[in-house]
């Protein structure tokens, strides 16, 4: 596990430097580090650095929560969207755009987004509590549908084409035009949420044996569910509220890590976090470098690249299950 995590960290460092150089204007390392080129320095510190840091934070949050949710539900198809967190955050942020609250303050969108994620989580947990994991997943599906309906409603009754365009744009997911403000805004929530998620390892291991055995091994299942859900709400809710919906990172990252660590849930957490950060950073560079007229949105790109993986998972699941 150590080797895998160190390898991922080294890769992240390399790709991170690359992400500072890549963009509409390619910079050479000399231009950045010489300090003579004021414009280059400005591009790096004010545009590319916050964008790359945001990619790491958001990707890490998605990867970690995906790993925890897959362990919690023991369902390899689980991801943050499963519990309604992503769409809940989306509904919150869309509400802010719809009622033009975003014009009052730039942080209104993110704050409402987090509130939406927490609200969706509370509803999922309230509905699914006491019914085991299946009830929790079903409750998540119900809440996802409800919040998706809310978003569709906002689009339907958008006050003007500009608001509809803004909502659409945001739903596609992007890291473009982000500043340090957004980084500092979501950092505390991602750190606190990530810490809550990181404590679940031992309980997730025991849960491999099913709920009865995990409980008999001294695991408090209610506490585990609260840590997993609240951690996901904070980390993914904060991330989604700033970047919009970015799919498949939370699904793919844990899967890539799993075979390397003997499938043990606790040992997947760190590599899935690093893998999620790396994947999103690479995806963002690719989205920046692919020029097809208008900007290719990051969320669209991850979905396009991630969906075949989903197909492959389903096909493999069908083949391996009796």
Partner 1 sequence: MSVLVADRIGVARGNRAILQDVSLTAGPGDFIAVIGPNGAGKSTLLSALAGLIVPATGDVSLDGIALNRIARRELARKRAYLPQNPVCEWPLSTERLVALGLTAHLPALGPLPPAFDGAIAEALADHDLMDRKDQPVTTLSGGEFSRAMLARALVARPDIVIVDEPVTGLDPVHAFSAMARLAAWTAKGKTVIASLHDLTLAARYAGRILALKQGRVAGEGTLTAGLIRNVFGVEAEVRGAGANVKVDFLLP
List contacts with partner 1 (CB under 8 A). Answer: 1, 74, 198-199, 201-202, 205-210, 212-213, 215-220, 262-265
Site of tokens 């080294």: 10
Residue nearer to partner 1 on the CB measure, 262 or 293: 262
CB of 231 to partner 1, least distance (A): 15
The number of residues in the chain equals: 322
Residue closer to partner 1, measured from CB, 81 or 265: 265
Closest to partner 1 by CB, 38 vs 212, is: 212
Task: Provide the minimum distance between the beta carbon of 186 and partner 1 in the complex, in angstroms, as a whole number.
Answer: 25
The sign one gets for the Cα dihedral 254, 255, 261, 264 is: positive
Q: Is the CA virtual torsion 133, 139, 142, 147 positive or negative?
A: negative
Which residues contact residue 93 at a Cβ distance below 8 angstroms, ignoring those fewer than 6 apart? Answer: 109, 110, 112, 113, 116, 170, 240, 241, 244
Query: Considering beta carbons, is residue 245 or 261 the nearer one to partner 1?
Result: 261
The residue behind tokens 């919009």 is: 244
The two three-digit tokens of residue 115, written as one number: 């509130």
Residue 209 Cβ vs partner 1, minimum distance, rounded to whole Å: 6
Considering the complex, what minimum distance in angstroms separates the CB of residue 40 from partner 1?
A: 43
Nearest CB to partner 1, comparing residues 1 and 164: 1
How far is the C-alpha of 268 from the C-alpha of 249, rounded, in Å?
14
* Residues 154, 218: Cα–Cα separation, whole Å: 46
2 vs 291, beta carbon nearer partner 1: 2
Nearer to partner 1, 101 or 198 (CB): 198
User: Least distance (Å) from partner 1 to the CB of residue 210?
Assistant: 5
The secondary structure of 49-86, three-state, reads: HHHHHHHHHHHHHHHHHHHHHHHHHCCCCCCHHHHCHH
Q: Which two tokens stand for residue 174?
A: 């992007």
- Find, among 223, 182, 185, the residue nearest to 202 by Cα: 223
- Min separation Cβ 316 and partner 1, Å: 13
- Minimum Å gap between C-beta 6 and partner 1 is 15
């Amino acid at each position: 596990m150590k080797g895998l995590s160190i390898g991922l960290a080294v890769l992240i460092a390399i790709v991170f430097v690359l992400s500072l150089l890549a963009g509409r204007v390619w910079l050479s390392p000399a231009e950045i580090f010489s300090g003579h080129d004021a414009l280059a320095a400005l591009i790096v510190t004010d545009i590319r650095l916050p964008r790359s840091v945001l990619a790491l934070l958001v990707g890490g949050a998605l990867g970690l929560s995906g790993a925890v949710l897959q362990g919690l539900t023991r369902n390899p198809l689980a991801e943050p969207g499963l519990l309604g967190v992503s769409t809940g955050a989306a509904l919150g942020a869309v509400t802010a755009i719809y009622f033009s609250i975003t014009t009052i303050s730039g942080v209104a969108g993110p704050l409402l987004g987090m509130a939406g994620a927490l609200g969706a989580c509370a509803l999922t947990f309230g509905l699914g509590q006491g019914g085991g994991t299946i009830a929790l997943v079903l409750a998540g599906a119900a809440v996802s549908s409800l919040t998706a309906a809310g978003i569709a409603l906002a689009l339907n009754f958008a006050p003007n084409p500009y608001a509809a365009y803004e909502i659409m744009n945001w739903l596609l997911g992007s890291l473009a035009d982000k500043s340090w403000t957004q980084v500092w805004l979501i950092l505390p929530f991602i750190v606190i949420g990530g810490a809550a998620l990181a404590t679940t390892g031992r309980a997730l291991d025991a849960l491999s044996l099913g709920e009865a055995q995990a409980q008999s091994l001294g695991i408090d299942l209610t506490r585990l569910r609260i840590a997993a859900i609240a951690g996901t709400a904070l980390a993914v809710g904060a991330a989604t509220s700033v970047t919009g919906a970015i799919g498949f990172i939370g699904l793919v990252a844990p899967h890539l890590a799993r075979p390397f660590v003997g499938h043990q849930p606790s040992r997947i957490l760190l590599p899935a976090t690093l893998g999620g950060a790396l994947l999103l950073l690479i995806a963002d560079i690719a989205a920046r470098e692919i020029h097809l007229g208008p900007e290719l949105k990051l969320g669209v790109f991850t979905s396009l690249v991630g969906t075949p993986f989903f197909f492959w998972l389903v096909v493999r699941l069908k083949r391996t299950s009796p």
